[in-house]
A and B are shown apart, each in its own frame.
Chain A
């Protein structure tokens, strides 16, 4: 017979069990964590026991807090020490705890690293910018939840995509690629197979490199501008506009490309209104990115740049242009002559 009192106990037990159903486990070593790991993988906290007191203090206030455990879901949590002198790597207790775990991208503490159940690192974050400055690391807790959920989503989508083919599969794979964590190893190859002509534009989106685009436009292999480089403004504008219009690309990449056009327009001293127009387009595309946020500043800085030439300056500019044209003509002539006599391969 269930009394009122026992029913209360049963409810409490049920609630407790329910809470355990989605609670992170702890492991002493990274290897043990991988063994225990389920779909939520492993979340590792890197700290410096003998050199970074802050990361040691956060072990209790943040890493062992219920909030962090809740955020980690069913992931196995492991705290990994990194000592000042790393001579004992692979040996001793610290070596045992770390096992095969890779070092953080930059050996900064505290760092939180995320691994799937196969030991593949899919995310990491470090420093106060991502952990927050408070002792409970509110920001860090949010980020743990964000990445663990992204992994779940990734797995869910990959499972969903498994039986599909063609565009349907490509759509889901594209969604996977857009998640804020490392892509599964063969994702891009699978995407190329599913959408060989890139109808969705996802391949283009993930392969586009704004920096390389800029280097190509500026005719530089390494980013150092050639002293006598002169951009073909009209061609550059055409190329930038084309990229900017490509909605398959990420807004930030499109903005980056348009930034090059803005910079070149300033260098070419095009009318202020036109420049302002370019800047506003960047802002309109996405005002939450850094480039979008910069727009008002750029309008102030560059949108009103005016330089009226004095008669002397105008004369000097004319003469300089004439001399430059002459030099170009001579250069072409020399090159033509040289071509007749010297062949370079």
Chain B
């Protein structure tokens, strides 16, 4: 037998048995194979990409002197790789070389804990996180300073390169146990290859190939793509979609700024090294991801020529059909943004904080709304030069803009005329125009955000009910600014969902930068193995990645997609996964965990579980792990409905569920709205069930007297929603003497008939604590009724019994001035309503007295509508209803 066959057999046997761990053995075998394979090995499938490899023109090598020397046996010189080398490598690791169902022989994980995810593992990774230390999110991931050796020419064939990288990565992989993966990730070359593979995985390879065939483009991109620190940030620190478009944009940046790699550094100012590269990456990523265009206009001939010369691929982005030929504008808007930051960095004009920002935070300030007039380079330039402030001061920067709903011409901010006349005075500088002309909440918040971003402080705008606010990243956390509510929805985010909870989870994830980066790389490796038909090891690696960083949302999606099949109908395994999710995500991020359970775990897990006991155990894991004091201001009822519905018809199990719920809410009374849900649900189950629930709540109050007020809020809200006057009054009895100072007012005659009634609101405020004062607000002592903000918020008073109305007194908490189009309606049955009267507009009085002189209408329900104004809700100290009888 010829030596080459001996080697091949040894290789196959060695891989199968997992014995090929001796250093140098595998590379030696590879060398032997590659050296002689062409003549002997038949390709299993024709390799179109490999055969198309054209002859390469001379290229400049992009390497740095710091490049570590490698063991000679493991060296694989990309730049000197001849065309036939591409073929050989591709064949040796061709995914198609494996038959269907056959797996590559990488050593199986040595897993003493079995296949299940176990809480012990979480502890292990947590410890590691703790030793690495959580910081304020401002410490960049400490990737080694390593430069790869792939020559620019190799990028011309991204498909081939991707396959070669996969082969190379697999050849280096000695097993998938935790220790081996940790050792594997120690190698900077491996880390770079993983990032490169991930980049290719996220690219349209044909489009990328087209881009890389342009010599200028690939020569300017090659140094970036070989830079471990830059590439890992580019690939992993933001949601990279259409990577090839982002790369074409980067090539454009490098052409307009040939000095991208040469920051003007002062003595000891090494923190800024590579800053412009990272800024360019962040801008390209965000502009591509969001499809932001600059101002729509026809491009000049020169611009068109310059784009044509570059030969860049034109992205297909949202709105392309509408915009037609102006697609290139995306480059202009992004280029302006890049040049603004490049000039600011070189001129030392940004807040000192900026140079310390890790890449994920650069996405916020550099990638800030490319489609907003507040995001143009000229506006940002003005803000940089006129609103430079310490980071902490940006929460107040919005107030430079006067709050003026109507301009000097009497035109409303909601009309097209508001800024129109002034545009000529402020060409291209919308921030200054806003500051001088005025705005309402949206303009104020955009001004504050843009001022922060233009000075290198991360910020973004966000929606709140009927309001626009913003958030600024200061001292390791997002701080609300110009904010009225905690019900916040970011207007954009650097990746993932646009929810406050998702943002908090991402922030927590990036704060554990090193472990997150490792988990992301393990996830890449798993995806790569999954593509190469090695699902068993892929699953193990996904599992490892979720254990390493459970807050990394995308890996859960990959993991669950891969795991669903293997977990199948094995309830215990599902329980393990469920417990792991609940332990690792619920404590700080209950909303995200609930969403994940609903969308990714329960649909399959609940089918696999037949025993309600197991389901109860799974549900309990969620409640037990809540460990946050934040209010539940999200759609928790979707989770509770799903859980409750899964228990079937068994009253025993439903009762057990309610017990668990009540016990855990008593420990975290900020979730008191869940008690309201429980009451509403129990109401539908009949009186005995309701009685049991109330007994549980009584017990919980006894066990947690400190939670009594909030639990009472939950019960009263539940009672109000089911219309149970008796229950609401029973739980309000202790709060009737709230001691609110009531204004003096002339009596309207008659007897007070509202006391003992029931209050309901069309939309409740986030601040649940006022609910216990609803009953008192129907008495002359006064209490508090507080709804959400927004148009036509309504409070309905159900009187204890029908009465002929003689008068009504309304006492708003802050006087009547805020109410302009409010009114009163009455009803006998709570269904058909009749207008009683409109109320005076913007009265300066502390209360309104409505005296009915003649035809006293009979009513059981009184409803007050807050009117048209967006920023007003119900905020009353008292609503007092009197009859027409003689005072007793």
Chain A contacts to B: CB under 8 angstroms: 48, 50-55, 57, 82-86, 106-109, 126-129, 133, 210-211, 214-215, 217-218, 220-227, 256, 259-260, 262-264, 266-267, 290-291, 293-294, 297-298, 301-302, 338, 340-345
Contacts and interface: CB of A to CB of B under 8 A. Distances in A.
A341 B397 CA distance: 52
Interface stretch (B4-12, B293-301, B322-330, B348-356): B348-356
Given A108-B386, A218-B406, 4 more contacts: A84-B391, A127-B386, A262-B409, A345-B849
Given A84-B390, A263-B411, A340-B853, A297 B353 contact: no
Contact of A340 (B351, B421, B839, B854): B854
A259 B352 contact: no
Q: Which of B390, B412, B746 has the most CB of A within 10 A?
A: B390
Given A214-B406, A227-B868, A84 B388 contact: no
Q: Closest 6 A-B residue pairs measured CB to CB?
A: A263-B409, A127-B386, A128-B385, A107-B393, A223-B405, A53-B348
Contacts of A262: 409
B389 interface: yes
A291 B399 CA distance: 23
A55 B841 CA distance: 50
B388 A86 contact: no
A293 B424 CA distance: 10
Interface string B381-419: 010011111111100110110011111111110000100
Contact of B409 (A86, A259, A297): A259
Nearest to A263: B409
Q: Which of A86, A217, A297, A342 has the most CB of B within 10 A?
A: A342
A259 B406 CA distance: 12
Nearest to A49: B352
A342 B388 contact: no
Contact of A264 (B382, B403, B410): B410
Contacts of A50: 352
A229 B425 CA distance: 30
Contacts of B400: 106
A298 B390 contact: no
B683 interface: no
Given A260-B410, A290-B425, A297-B424, A127 B387 contact: yes
A344 B391 contact: no
A261 B385 CA distance: 36
B507 to A, nearest CB: 20
Contacts of A211: 404
B61 interface: no
B854 A341 contact: yes
Nearest to A236: B410
B416 to A, nearest CB: 11
20 contacts: A50-B352, A51-B351, A53-B348, A84-B391, A106-B396, A106-B397, A109-B389, A133-B385, A211-B404, A215-B406, A220-B406, A221-B820, A223-B406, A227-B868, A263-B410, A297-B424, A341-B853, A342-B837, A344-B840, A344-B848
Interface of B: 347-349, 351-353, 382, 385-393, 396-397, 399-400, 403-412, 417, 420-422, 424-425, 436, 746, 817, 820-821, 836-837, 839-842, 845, 848-855, 868-869
A51 B408 contact: no
B388 A226 contact: no
A224 B869 contact: yes
Contacts of B842: 221
Contact of A54 (B388, B389, B420): B388
B848 to A, nearest CB: 7
B839 to A, nearest CB: 7
A62 B346 CA distance: 21
Contacts of A341: 852-855
A127 B349 CA distance: 12
Contacts of A223: 403-406
Contacts of B821: 226-227
Contact of A342 (B389, B391, B396, B851): B851
A52 B351 contact: yes
Nearest to A259: B408
Nearest to A110: B388
B306 to A, nearest CB: 29
Contacts of B392: 84-86, 107
A226 B868 CA distance: 9
A48 to B, nearest CB: 6
Contacts, number: 157
Nearest to B420: A301
A55 B404 contact: no
A267 to B, nearest CB: 7
Given A129-B386, A225-B412, A345 B848 contact: yes
A223 B411 CA distance: 10
Nearest to A130: B386
Nearest to B402: A211
B731 to A, nearest CB: 34
B353 to A, nearest CB: 6
Given A294-B422, A343-B853, A55 B410 contact: no
Contacts of A210: 408
Q: Which of B385, B389, B397, B409 has the most CB of A within 10 A?
A: B409
A48 B408 contact: no
A294 B385 CA distance: 26
B343 to A, nearest CB: 13
Contacts of B387: 106, 108, 127
Nearest to B381: A128
A263 B409 CA distance: 5
A215 B357 CA distance: 46
Given A54-B349, A344-B839, A293 B385 contact: no
Q: Which of A52, A267, A294, A340 has the most CB of B within 10 A?
A: A52
B849 A51 contact: no
Nearest to A103: B393
B38 to A, nearest CB: 60
Given A86-B390, A267-B410, A344 B850 contact: yes
Q: Which of A223, A264, A338 has the most CB of B within 10 A?
A: A223
Contacts of B404: 211, 223
A294 B423 CA distance: 10
B710 to A, nearest CB: 33
Given A84-B390, A298-B421, A344-B837, A225 B405 contact: yes
Given A106-B389, A342-B850, A53 B349 contact: yes
Contacts of A260: 408-410
Nearest to B818: A222
A84 B349 CA distance: 15
Contacts of A52: 351-352, 388, 390
Contacts of A53: 348-349, 352
B814 to A, nearest CB: 13
Contacts of A106: 387, 389, 393, 396-397, 399-400
Contacts of A221: 817, 820, 842
A61 to B, nearest CB: 13
Contacts of B396: 106-107
B389 A108 contact: yes
Contacts of B417: 263, 266
Nearest to B351: A51
A222 B405 contact: yes
B265 to A, nearest CB: 12
A294 B424 contact: yes
Contacts of A266: 409, 417
A297 B425 CA distance: 10
A275 to B, nearest CB: 12
B849 A344 contact: yes
A214 B410 CA distance: 7
A50 B348 CA distance: 12
B410 A218 contact: yes
Contacts of B351: 51-52
Contacts of B851: 342-345
Contacts of B839: 344
